[in-house]
Amino acid sequence: MKGMVDERAVALGTYIVENRATVRSTAGKFGVSKSTVHKDVSERLRRVNPRLYKQVRVILDINKSERHIRGGMATRRKYCGK
């Protein structure tokens, strides 16, 4: 069982790096919760594949710095109909 979780962590991390994906979109793609994605890429991946972890961390930090902009755009689309 443990090997499967480690493999999932690597798969999630690879997807995030290749697609510059958010935790939310990655969770939707793999059919797991956002909490699972976050735990896999922030804790398990650090232990299993430190090199990939560093790449994922860069993407997640960028996403975090841009999230207020994405939220504003979503609100605009909601009320402006665009």
* pLDDT one digit per residue (tens) for the chain, 82 residues: 466 999 999 999 999 999 999 999 999 999 999 999 999 999 999 999 999 999 999 999 998 887 766 767 777 788 887 5
Domain ranges of the chain: 2-80
For residue 16 the two structure tokens come to: 């995030």
Alpha helices in the chain (DSSP H): 2-19, 23-30, 34-39, 45-48, 50-80
pTM as predicted: 0.80
